[in-house]
Amino acid sequence: MEKFKEERIAQLREAKARAMLGGGEDKLAKVRAKGKLTARERIDRLLDPGSFVEFNMLIGHLDKMPGDGVVAGYGTVNGRVVCVYSQDTTVKGGSIGALHGFKMYRTVERALEMQVPFVGIHDSPGARTPRPEEGGGALGTGAIGEKNGGSIFFPNTQASGAIPQISAIMGSCAGISVYSPALTDFIFMVDGASHMFITGPLMVKSVMGEDVTAEELGGAAVHCSVSGVADLRAENEEACLQRIRELLDFLPSNHNQKPPRVDYGDDPERLDDSLAEIVPSNPNKAYDMHNVIYALVDKGYFFEIKPEFAPEMIVGFGRLDGQTVGIVANQPMVRAGSLTVDSSDKQARFMRFCDSFNIPIILLVDTPAYMPGTNQEHGGIIRHGAKVLYALCEATVPRMAVVLRKAYGGGNLGMGIVPGLGTDIIYFWPTVEMGVLGAEQAVALFYGADIMKAENPAEFREQKLKEYREKNANPLFEINHNWYIDDLIEPRETRRALIRGLKLLADKKVARYSKRHGNIPL
């Protein structure tokens, strides 16, 4: 009997040792020769050392398909549990078959059941196509649900807003291998190595007659700056996985928790005189809003999301007195900080994520309003702008706004600083210029005829412009009769005011009408 046990244990060890090699040493060597990490090495870089626990390791091992081409299980990131799978290109090229799809499905489902974040590491050409004689039909149905793993979309959707979901694209992914990541909260790509497309270059050539490379069609640069599908690109796989670890530190494990507090030792009462210097008084002069954000957040640490897409809007995570906050800010360096079709999508999606996961929202406002023109109107700026309004009115997390320099017309609406949109606290700097129009446009509209009749039109125009800015566009006059501005603060006080506001709003509760769900203007 003892010999029997020893033999079985030896067989188990041998089977697991073979499974650890995936498609074999030769194929692993080829992966590394391309400068890439293997499926298991990717998990090792993502998780805390020695924390990974694998499920279904021996699926397919008798068929020389260890794990059916995907490594799945759980581990920890900085001590917090995370579920993860990593597709293995050394087994059937990482293609998705029945058992492969089941493991993907079960990994997300398990994360949802345990209320922990999920990370999917993708490197797959898509569904595993059966030979005609193997059967399976056009939809590839099998005994365990969708043979092509299509049912992964169901747990992805159920997990949306319940647990954070993050995808890393590590190779050329097509078909269903891109739709599952598209349902997750954040997508990371590797420059020059990651590709996402529904149909690859060969199919595009066949059907459309268009010659295009994988990089031109769906590379990291395209999806991070043009399509907006991806959120961040990294220079290599190591950096990509490290960035995911950093992002997870800002997030709670699920929608019932608040993000973990991290004390950087940055004084919550700190005043910063540099803020008054960063923002010019001239409303037409550009400056980099990033510098304002760095001055406000703890130790200047800001994790930006979609930095290359619609850069006229900045979104990302920082901390104030150790508490995670989501920052939404106009960027005067790009399109003067105007609101656009793309920036509206970027802003609305980010705010909805923050609202899902108990992350307070900070709005830093300096915008001339919506970008005019046929491109914006024909692109559906009304519909896309309505997404922002929906996200603002839907949100229940604490929300504060600081108007730094200007807020005209619809910009007040799009940045949530008009009454009734649910922004809890609104601060103005004393240098703010506000109104339906900018001061120059307002003077031209109201006094244009008078200016033309004046003996000295230029002098008369300057006089009217000065009067308008001192009275009609001056927050010191506006606050006299507008209750929705909570306070005028000096620029140097901004960080302190926000932190104090967060303390007031820490236990904010908002009741909503009971319904199935709303119908956001997609």
Pick the CATH number of 274-436+475-504 from 3.30.9.10, 3.90.226.10, 3.40.50.720, 3.90.550.10: 3.90.226.10
The pLDDT of residue 356 is above 80: yes
The pLDDT of residue 144: 38
In which band, very low, low, confident or very high, does the pLDDT at 329 lie, cut at 50, 70 and 90? very high
How many C-beta atoms surround the C-beta of residue 225 within 10 A? 16
The pLDDT of residue 450: 64
Which tops the pLDDT comparison, 451 or 263? 263
The pLDDT of residue 380: 94
In which band, very low, low, confident or very high, does the pLDDT at 385 lie, cut at 50, 70 and 90? very high
Which tops the pLDDT comparison, 461 or 14? 14
Question: What is d(CA 492, CA 273) in angstroms, rounded to the nearest whole number?
Answer: 5
DSSP labels for 271-294?
--THHHHHS-SSTTS---HHHHHH
**Which of the residue ranges 172-181, 233-242, 464-473 would you say has the lowest mean pLDDT?**
464-473
Q: If you average pLDDT over every residue of the chain, what do you get?
A: 90
The pLDDT of residue 137 is above 50: no
The pLDDT of residue 228 is above 60: yes
pLDDT in tens, 178-198: 999 999 999 999 999 999 998
In which band, very low, low, confident or very high, does the pLDDT at 467 lie, cut at 50, 70 and 90? low
Which tops the pLDDT comparison, 200 or 123? 123
**Which of the residue ranges 101-105, 135-139, 289-293, 499-503 would you say has the lowest mean pLDDT?**
135-139
Residue identified by tokens 């800001």 is 302
Instruction: Give mean pLDDT, residues 153-172.
Output: 96
pLDDT in tens, 232-269: 999 999 999 999 999 999 999 999 999 999 999 999 99
Question: Rounded to a whole number, what is the largest CA-CA distance in the chain?
Answer: 114
The answer to whether 356 touches 313, Cβ cutoff 8 Å, is no
Report how far apart, in Å, the C-alpha atoms of 213 and of each of 188, 205, 210, 220, 342 are.
20, 10, 10, 13, 25
Instruction: Give mean pLDDT, residues 469-483.
Output: 71
In which band, very low, low, confident or very high, does the pLDDT at 408 lie, cut at 50, 70 and 90? confident
User: Which residues partner with 82 through β-bridges?
Assistant: 75
Pick the CATH number of 2-250 from 3.90.1300.10, 3.40.50.720, 3.30.565.10, 3.90.226.10: 3.90.226.10
- Residue type, position 240, single letter: C
**Which of the residue ranges 109-113, 173-177, 449-453, 483-487 would you say has the lowest mean pLDDT?**
449-453
The pLDDT of residue 148: 44
The pLDDT of residue 335 is above 80: yes
Burial class (CB in 10 A: 0-12, 13-18, 19+), 340: buried
Helix (H) or strand (E) holding 495: helix 494-504
Domain coordinates in residue numbering, the chain = 2-250, 274-436+475-504, 439-472
pLDDT in tens, 34-75: 999 999 999 999 999 999 999 999 998 898 899 999 999 999
The pLDDT of residue 138: 42
The pLDDT of residue 5: 87
Report how far apart, in Å, the C-alpha atoms of 298 and of each of 180, 243, 263, 265, 295 are.
34, 18, 9, 8, 8
3-state secondary structure string across 63-77: HCCHHHHEEEEEEEE
Kindly report whether the global pTM for this prediction surpasses the value 0.75: yes
Which tops the pLDDT comparison, 469 or 155? 155
